[in-house]
Amino acid sequence: MSQPIDIAVIGATGTVGETLVQILDECDFPVGTLHLLASNESAGSGVMFRSKSLRVREVDSFDFSKVKLAFFAAGPAVTRSFAPRAQAAGCAVIDLSGGLPAEQAPAVVPEANPAVLDNLKAPLQLSSPSAAAIALAVTLAPLKGLLELERINVTACLAVSAQGREAVNELARQTAELLNARPLEPRFFDRQMAFNLLAQVGASDAEGHGVLERRLVSELREVLGLPSLKISVSCVQVPVFFGDSYSVSVQSRTPVDLAAVNAALEAADSIELVEEGDYPTPVGDAVGQDVVYVGRVRGGIDEAEQLNLWLTTDNVRKGAALNAVQLAQLLIKGLV
């Protein structure tokens, strides 16, 4: 249908990058030439795309004028180094790392704030927000008209894959060591991750808030268009390989109509609502799927103004790669 677009994926050998290439492969996105970029560590390796093996190259020497669109999935430092080059070459940027400020690259979740795209000016730069912001935005967007949102309380139970390949390998290695009664030698995580919970994910600031926690608050406010929404969030690293889960408690200013909430969630395309009595889990439900699973929809105990939810989603797919590809599909009209 559309004219093919030449594309670069930076971080193509990573957890998110690999899935992004796979989604581009599966969907009918009009990909012209695909350039797979990474660090010098995996330059030279091959990645399959549409039945051909594509050679991975180093991002450092890449000429961004060869492409019209670049996905950045290699960490915020890489985005900050190379996005300006891409931009100077007239290439649109979709960043998945949180490396660009909101003023330069607005955060967009197609289910929540697609209208941002209508007013976007060159250089085209978008942020695909954190997996947590995507899951919450997809779930809360259809409820915005039903609730007078006052406060959202989130405990985010993050899979180790949220920290990339090395973290996945480390959980597997630690688990095997413990089951074989060998002494545990933490490497990627600074302590035992297997059969344990780590109450902090990444660095924290002087006030004790984690970088990811701050990021979720600002991204969610931005994407929902509610700049003064009160949000409290705690990120916890759990011994799960893939699939983030969110325990969410919403305060409304007015009583919550649970039947209307259920109907709105049921009607949303990107949500799979799990009926009362059952509940969704990361493994078994969310992983590998393109939707946010929502369950345990219930009110408060002795409180009509409360709504409690449990969300789970594939952090790599719906929480990153798929959202970025959806953004590209929206951007596409401006590029061809």
Ligand X SMILES: NC(=O)c1ccc[n+]([C@@H]2O[C@H](COP(=O)([O-])OP(=O)(O)OC[C@H]3O[C@@H](n4cnc5c(N)ncnc54)[C@H](OP(=O)(O)O)[C@@H]3O)[C@@H](O)[C@H]2O)c1
**For residue 280, which of 311, 317, 314 has the smallest C-alpha distance?**
311
Burial class (CB within 10 angstroms; exposed 0-12, middle 13-18, buried 19+) of 245: buried
Q: Which of 8, 16, 83, 107 binds ligand X (CB under 6 A)?
A: 16
In angstroms, what is the minimal distance from the CB of 56 to ligand X? 7
Distance CA 78, CA 264 (A): 39
Residue 84 touches which of its own copies, ligand X, none (CB < 5 to 8 A by kind)?
none
Name the DSSP letter for residue 284: I
* Strand, helix or coil for residue 182: coil
Name the DSSP letter for residue 318: I
Interface with its own copies includes 150 (CB under 8 A)? no
Interface with ligand X includes 39 (CB under 6 A)? yes
Window 263 to 282, contacts with its own copies (CB under 8 A): 276-277, 279-282
Binding to its own copies by CB under 8 A, coded x per residue (else -) over 30-49, reads --------------------
In angstroms, what is the minimal distance from the CB of 97 to its own copies? 21
**For residue 127, which of 102, 159, 155 has the smallest C-alpha distance?**
102
Binding to ligand X by CB under 6 A, coded x per residue (else -) over 207-246, reads ----------------------------------------
**For residue 101, which of 119, 122, 118, 84 has the smallest C-alpha distance?**
84
DSSP string, 41-55: TTTT-EEEETTEEEE
Interface with ligand X includes 38 (CB under 6 A)? yes
Reading the block at residue 277, the tokens are 């009595």
**For residue 251, which of 119, 319, 153 has the smallest C-alpha distance?**
153
Q: Which is nearer to its own copies, 77 or 258 (CB)?
A: 258
**For residue 33, which of 52, 58, 14, 18 has the smallest C-alpha distance?**
52
Q: Which is nearer to ligand X, 149 or 157 (CB)?
A: 157
CA angle, residues 140, 127, 120, in degrees to nearest 5: 95
In angstroms, what is the minimal distance from the CB of 95 to its own copies? 23
| Residue ranges binding ligand X (CB under 6 A) | 11-17, 38-39, 41-42, 59, 73-76, 78, 96-97, 130-131, 161-162, 164-165, 315-316, 319-320
Task: Write out the residues near its own copies by the rule CB under 8 A.
Answer: 153, 155, 157, 171-172, 175-176, 179, 191-192, 195-200, 204, 207-209, 213-214, 217, 230-234, 236, 238-241, 243, 245, 247, 249, 276-277, 279-284, 295-303, 306, 308, 310, 312
